[in-house]
Structures are given as C-alpha cells and as structure tokens.
Amino acid sequence: MDKSSLSIVKIGGNIIENKAELKAFLELFVQIPGKKILVHGGGKEATAMATKLGISSKMVDGRRITDSDSLKVITMVYAGLLNKNITASLQSLECNAIGISGADGNSITSIKRPVKTIDYGWVGDVTSVHNSNIQKLLESDFTPVFCAITHDGHGQLLNTNADTIAAELGKSLSDLYDVNIFYCFELPGVLRDISDSNSVITQLNSESYEELRKQNVISDGMLPKLTNCFDALKHGVQKVYIGNQSMFRQNETNFTTISL
C-alpha cells in the first residue's frame, strides 16, 4: 500500500520575528499539497522577552544555557505567544492548525542533555517520538504546529533544538508517510560562499558534503543542520530541502536539495 506524502517544515527565527516575512511564508505554507507539519523555535523573541523581564540570557558558542528562569521564558514565548499567534494566523488562512509541544499527546520525549564540558541546563536531547497521536491529528486533517519544547516523561519540560525536532519527527513518521523535510530560513540555501547569496549549492549528497566539509566550504552553524539532514535521510526521510520561503513557489529551483 502506497504511503501518503507528508511535508515537515521548520522555520527560522528571522522569519518568525518579521511579521511581513511570517505572513508571506504562512501564505505559501498553506498551499503545500498533502499533509504537513510546521516546526518553529523563536530564540530571538525569547531573548527579547527575557531582557524585558530582567533575566539575562547566557550563550556559549551560539547555544543557549537554559536555567530555570530561562526555561520559564522560553516556554511562555515558544509554547504560548509564538505558537498561538502562528496557529491563529494559519486559521485565518483556512488551515486547521493545532499548536502543540512535545508534551502534548506525549508526542516527543527527551532526556536532559548530559554534562560533558558544558552544563546546558534544561536542554533536551530527543529520545523518542510517539507517532500514533500525531498520526491521528494528521488523519483528522489537522496541521500540527510544534514549538521547540519537549518533556522527559516525569513532568519536566526541556528546551530542544527545533532543527532536531523536525528531523526526529521526520524519522519517526517516515514509517507511516513519505516524508520530505524543508528547513526554511533567511538564506536561499547552502552557500558555496557565505557572502554571496547567488552561490547556492543546488544539489548535495553525502559524498559531496564530505568533500565540501573538508574544503571548509561548509562549516560553523551549517554543520549541525546538515548533520540532522543526513541523519533523517538515513532513517527513512525521502529528501531534505534548505532555502528561504521562495522554495515553496512554483518553478523555483534556487535552493538546496539534499539526498543520500
């Protein structure tokens, strides 16, 4: 029996914090055919809210240290303000969205990241995705909107990387659907030259990725994103795409397609 298609789309913070960009993206998102899931973070919004509340945000190598106060702000912003605003906006576009976290329906469980050299605090590493309840939502024609919050199964919420959540959802749901993942952010794709937006690498596989990584063409923040991409592909996801919102427009080809 053929599987139906499922698109999992993760949007970056630069889209979320710009109302015009977010509106334009959501208008394109609702036109994606078939079943779909939206995943979002919102780190910049959380940092801004924390500053207003007099809570300092600690970062190490671009990664947030999530202490107890930070977790409260992140939960308030991710699972509350941003998630419900996005859900309401999708409803206005006649997309029957339902905003959830990993704790809702026991969808995504994690463990607190073990301390090695750095204690990241209440940060979660995904251990399992329980796809049966997510499938029920999809088959009832809901569009789940996941924020970047998971739980440990013992009452503790955990801040979790949104790229990873998209990949883990894709891996689990590929048992049930033909899954494609889209990482949508401000750049048009994986760039050969970070200062040149016209240098998009349109096709990338594991072999060419290793070569470009050795040449230091691909480095820094793109490495963990691509690690998630190839991990998802190795566990059943069909293809992964990276680009800005224009990749959802018909006949657009200037974005990165990743395959094994």
* Spatial distance between the Cα atoms of 144 and 87, rounded to a whole number of angstroms: 9
Count of beta carbons in the 10 Å neighbourhood of residue 252: 13
Q: How does pLDDT run across 9-30, given as a tens digit for each residue?
A: 999 888 998 899 999 999 999 9
Number of domains in the chain: 1
Output 13 or 153, whichever has higher pLDDT: 153
Does the CA dihedral 165-168-172-177 come out positive or negative?
positive
Mean pLDDT on 139-159? 98
pLDDT at 1: 60
Query: Full-prediction pTM beyond 0.85?
Result: yes
Confidence of residue 179 (pLDDT cuts 50, 70, 90): very high
**249 assigned to some structural domain:** no
pLDDT at 181: 98
Mean pLDDT on 158-178? 96
**106 assigned to some structural domain:** yes
**42 assigned to some structural domain:** yes
**168 assigned to some structural domain:** yes
pLDDT at 62: 66
* Spatial distance between the Cα atoms of 106 and 23, rounded to a whole number of angstroms: 30
Instruction: Give the burial string for 214-235 (b: 16+ CB within 10 Å, else e).
Output: eeebbeeebeebbebbbbbbee
Count of beta carbons in the 10 Å neighbourhood of residue 122: 21
pLDDT at 8: 98
Structural domain boundaries enclosing 30: 5-184
**237 assigned to some structural domain:** no
**240 assigned to some structural domain:** no
Least confident segment among 15-19, 73-77, 172-176, 238-242: 15-19
**70 assigned to some structural domain:** yes
Does the CA dihedral 26-32-36-38 come out positive or negative?
negative
Count of beta carbons in the 10 Å neighbourhood of residue 135: 17
Domain CATH number, residue 27: 3.40.1160.10
**162 assigned to some structural domain:** yes
